[in-house]
Structure 1
Amino acid sequence: MKGNSLLFIVLAVLTFNLQYVQAQAGEGEKLSLDDGTISSQFDYVSKKSGNYRAEGVRYEVVKEAYLYKLRKNVLDSLNAANKKEAELNATISGHETTITSLNQKLKETTNNLASVTQEKDSMSFLGMSVSKVTYNLILWTIIAGLLLLLLLFIYKFRQSNILTQEAKTNLSELEVEYEDHRRNALEREQKISRRLQDEINKYKKTK
């Protein structure tokens, strides 16, 4: 009996020292469930988890409130990612419409150029008679401007597509991270439940 009491005291002292060391090590990190990344919030829950040993096996105990809070934060992050993805898709759709319009205008301008090159050297432009060289210079300047605008919108479209892919990748990683944590939490809960049932059965046998 005395040996068991001594063993219990030694385990309690070791557990206290371990928690104290963890607390000292975490003083430099301001972990919280109210801000920070999902990864840092998982670290917070891990650091706030209690632990004990029974028959040489270590068990982790997590407050149910922490799990609910962490679940809410993960869902909020997923919703934010979905909203961002929807916004990016809307932006991409707008850019595609603009590019289609610019392509049509460029095609019309090119057709007009082909037509005017077959006319006389002298032609009317905005009510003024100008030489063909001057007319072509003005027209090609407009085409160059349209091409630059087209290239700008193509660049914007590609940037939006990259952001969309990054958002999808982050969302997938977040879902995998959440699923791993949920599975680990469920496994710990099942282990604790089995251990509790074993203790209940032992207690019944001793009565």
Structure 2
Amino acid sequence: MFKTLLFTVLALSYFSSTMAQTANNEEKLSLNSGTIDNQFEYVIRRSNSWQEYKTVKKTWLYALKAHTIDSLNAVHKELNDTQAVVAAQAGEIDNLKQSLAVTKSELEDTIAEKDSMQLFGMQMTKPNYSLILWSIVGVLFALLLLFIYKYRNSNTITKHANKSLAETEEEFEEHRRNALEREQKVRRQLQDMINEQKKG
């Protein structure tokens, strides 16, 4: 008996809560507010049934049509606004891409100018500039070594020539003295012969 009473109380409380929830859901549904889905649900639930058909008030259909058109217009307007924003952003992106390309080109020019040097009016890269500069330095150094070698060689030749000249002059002086002595000797002999002939 107690079990039956308890079961009855529980069943009544469950049924009342379900009915209250259904009533709340129906209260939330409205033809003039809420989403289109809720408005369709309102029309379907509040329409009369006849066999497998639903009879709907024309005013509800017109109101539902107007609300649907308003919602579609709002969606179209939002879509158009979004497309306008996307187009504006695409334009900004294109401008940014162009600016980036210009900046990249200027950066490449700056790097190329930084990595290049001007020599004799010609623009060239730093490695080529260094190569030409060190080649010039190497050629000048080689010419300097050649000049030093030629100078030393000439100096040696000059010293040797001076020594040979001194020796030649010394030999010439010796030869001149010998020739002078011979000449004096021959003159004395000639004078002696002249003196002897005068005596004879």
Rg larger for: 2
Q: Tell me if both proteins adopt one fold, taking TM over 0.5 as the criterion.
A: no
The TM-score with structure 1 as length reference comes to 0.42
The TM-score with structure 2 as length reference comes to 0.44
